[in-house]
Amino acid sequence: MKYILASASPRRRELLEQIGLEFEIIPACGEEVIQYERPEEVVMDLSRQKAEEIVKKRTEITIPEVIIGADTVVAYKDTILGKPKDKGDAYRMISLLQGNSHKVYTGVTLILRSGEKTTVHSFFEETKVTMYPMSEAEREWYIDTKEPFDKAGGYGIQGKCAIFIEKISGDYNNVVGLPVARIYQELLKLGVDIYGES
């Protein structure tokens, strides 16, 4: 079985490496078209768009393969917070999240291809994150680290923002960007055992 990650995210790559999976990276580069409003529907749909883009690029396969597409969003009161556009936007996001709870959703699409058969399976994982209150000086300091600018919601739980995380309910890896335990369980349901015979 061949595994393909349809993402250039270093965090997703590290999480798959952490569980010992051998895989190839073929990033999806197409424009993301948001067709839904609810965060869980948005991430599942975007993950499917990414995985299907890679399917179209790979017209001939010689061995069975699994393509993994993923998309993560941060939602505060069901409003999706993307990656900050600038410093002001980052400050706005951090100001919303500090002292409050929010949810992180990762949608995953697994496309299993074997011979003429193609199976498309999408799901989402949800994690609740609560942040400590942050003073204005703390917010400014964090934004000045430049860490918020390539991350949904304007923060990285695995980075410097860790000192402001009070608690999480759910899968930590989901917040980082890929719920690897859930992926393993969903693959098993599809008849794919990454550590044994598929």
Give me the active site residues, please: 71
Structure tokens at 75: 């939602």
Give the whole-angstrom CA distance, residue 44 versus residue 110: 11
Give the whole-angstrom CA distance, residue 56 versus residue 69: 13
Give the whole-angstrom CA distance, residue 4 versus residue 26: 7
* DSSP class of 149: G
Q: Which residues are registered as beta bridge partners of 112?
A: 66, 119
